[in-house]
Homo-oligomer: A and B are copies of this chain.
Amino acid sequence: MEDCPFCLGNERLTPPEVAVYRERSNSSSWKIRVVPNMFPALTPHGLTRERLVEGHFTAMDGFGFHEVVIESPRHNQKLSRMRASDLELMIQAYRDRYKVLSKEANVRLIVIFKNHGVSAGTSISHPHSQIVATPVVSTHVRNKCRVALGHYKKTGRCVYCEMNGWELESGSRLVSESDHFVVFHPYASRYPFETWISPKRHKACFGNIEPDELRELGRLLQEVIGKMDRAVGEPDFNYVLHTAPVEDENREHLHWYLQIIPRIWTAAGFEIGSGIYINTSIPEETAKFMRGI
């Protein structure tokens, strides 16, 4: 597309790349580019990393990093049609950027995510994902960590490892299983067809994903999205890589995983008010349906 900043040949329309992946190192073409977001939510330039007092409130400057992973040089490429090696490369790019950004002073949380389609919050249709590195661990993430720590203190086990085991044991919410991952609809899922891809190897930090896991994660991501496409007609979707805060990278009670949410339903007043999500789908039924595809 002539005016798409993410298309091959339009590289001048983005800021210079922070990472690039090519078929061969001397190739002029590329397979994946990572560039700073042109309209960043956070930026590392010229901002204080300290907490500020603003009247009765505490604030921070918008310090941080916001990058875009351009997943393909082709405007109309889709994750569901990408080659296995290209998907692996995309996951590798996520991991490489995680490693670089997690070394930056004052970076405390890294969120890697994809918004696919207008209802999932994206304005650019060229396939891309995003990485945001923040100087705070949010209350939301702290609350999750606290619950996981509570389980660990009580049982001596990682609650995510336990869940993998429970889902394999029960099988009722299982979508698929591979050598290194368990794919399932979580118990009492918040969203219809919400799917987790959870590694069998206990690691708090996605940055420590291993080469054999990279390849499998790419393949499973494609498999889940392919199944969703057939189950509910190519829905818009978000996926998010949940990984421990940087300071907790090696903690025993946390565990990274990838969460996929098709946008076939809208949270409304009740969800905003209560934090309880009404899910009209039964995860045990949708998982069975997904297994059959």
* A contact residues vs B (CB 8 Å cutoff): 41, 54-57, 59, 109, 111-115, 119-122, 130, 132, 134, 136, 138-141, 143, 162, 166, 170, 187-188, 238-242, 259, 261, 266-270, 272-276, 278
Contacts and interface: CB of A to CB of B under 8 A. Distances in A.
A93 to B, nearest CB: 16
Contacts of A274: 109, 111, 132, 134, 138, 140-141
Given A56-B162, A162-B56, A278-B41, A269 B130 contact: yes
A274 to B, nearest CB: 5
Given A162-B56, A188-B57, A188-B59, A139 B275 contact: yes
Contact of A240 (B54, B139, B187, B273): B273
Contacts of A242: 273
B269 A55 contact: no
Nearest to A238: B269
A242 B275 CA distance: 12
Nearest to A166: B56
A276 B113 contact: no
A268 B140 contact: no
Given A56-B166, A166-B55, A115 B276 contact: no
Contacts of A166: 55-56
